[in-house]
Amino acid sequence: TSPRASTTHTTPKPRYASMQQRFGLTVREQLTCGFHVHTSIGSPEEGVAVLDRIRDKLAVLIAISANSPFWNGTVTGFESYRTQAWNRWPAAGPSMIFGSVAMYRRVVSRLLETGVLFDEGMVYFDARLARYHPTVEVRVADVCLRAEDAALIAVLVRALVESASREWRDGVDPAPVPTVLLKMAAWQASNCGLRGKLLDFGSFRPAPAAEVVHALVEFLAPVLAEQGELELARRGVDRILANGTGSQLQRQALRAPGLDNPADDAGLAAVVAHAVRVTLRGADADTAAEPAPVLSRVRRG
């Protein structure tokens, strides 16, 4: 989300004009940037099986990637306010366990039959089958401040998809977590990021964020090790836990010395300037000077 206040405009196409008329303020305020990770699948059947088996772990990715503490010139109190803004759309958020491609298609068809959504492109599940690619599309993460954090999220998503596919092939049922608990986990991750507690993806009770993040990496360890990325993932999460998420670094820039009123426009301009320095790897950027990892080329791109 943009730290500073902004005036938005819609893409000059009939679809977006219709969305503007129908959804009003939700459209006008929808200046958000999400980080979508596509991972290849062999069939729609595999894809739906993956969706059913990764849904309970996606909130952890919100916390790791959290990078939207400000909204339209306002300090929000959230680590990922993009998650809050995005979930105002009627079909956004976690989805049910589908069990089959037929049920997935039936649910999508029923959503379209309500007339609330204009088309399948507005089925904004946290993870879904991509419309135009043979992929599972995971959509929960914020756009990251640092390139190496984005690479880490991609590595974790790919390992999640591969692990879930293996569970499906081995006959392991999806965890029967109610969708309302998934919403609680996503809200907690959006609110606290890695600053406090997350909902553990096994018990869905509060646990220290570091424990939950490390538990996810260890759950994925067999696949990460096969792909030569286990140490990369461990170092990546340890670095974020030590140095802060993008959201934490944005707030540090806001509090930089020499600003009389860090919540004013000058303070938020300093946040933007810091993001530019981090992107360009300037001399006074944050401590993330480690080069972005090179991802290995494996079957699941």
Residue with structure tokens 């759950």? 219
Torsion of CA 49, 51, 54, 57, to 10 degrees: -160
Q: What is the mean pLDDT of residues 190-217?
A: 97
Residue with structure tokens 């599972």? 136
- Whether the CB-CB separation of 275 and 267 falls below 8 Å is answered with no
CA distance to 77, 95, 109, 228, per residue, from 270 (Å): 19, 38, 47, 38
Q: What is the mean pLDDT of residues 87-100?
A: 96
Per-residue confidence (pLDDT) for residue 209, from 0 to 100: 98
Better-predicted residue by pLDDT, 225 or 10? 225
Percent of the chain with pLDDT over 70: 91
Rg over alpha carbons for the chain, rounded to the nearest Å, is: 19
Tokens in use for 176?
């029967």
Q: Give the tens place of pLDDT for each residue, 31-75.
A: 889 999 999 999 999 999 999 999 999 999 999 999 999 998 889
Per-residue confidence (pLDDT) for residue 262, from 0 to 100: 66
CA distance to 50, 77, 246, 274, per residue, from 253 (Å): 39, 16, 11, 7
Residue 295 banded pLDDT, cuts 50, 70, 90: very low
Q: How far is residue 138's CA from residue 115's CA, in Å, rounded to a whole number?
A: 25
Q: How far is residue 62's CA from residue 58's CA, in Å, rounded to a whole number?
A: 7
Residue 175 banded pLDDT, cuts 50, 70, 90: very high
Q: Which of 14-18, 131-135, 236-240 has the lowest mean pLDDT?
A: 14-18
**pTM for this one?**
0.89
For the chain, the domains span 19-242
On the question of pLDDT at 165 being above 80, the answer is yes
Instruction: Give the fold, CATH level 3, of 19-242.
Output: Creatine Kinase; Chain A, domain 2 (3.30.590)
On the question of pLDDT at 8 being above 90, the answer is no
Tokens in use for 144?
């990251």
Tokens in use for 53?
């088996």
Q: What is the mean pLDDT of residues 171-178?
A: 98
Q: Give the tens place of pLDDT for each residue, 258-268.
A: 665 666 788 89
On the question of pLDDT at 205 being above 90, the answer is yes
Residue 296 banded pLDDT, cuts 50, 70, 90: very low
Residue 257 banded pLDDT, cuts 50, 70, 90: low
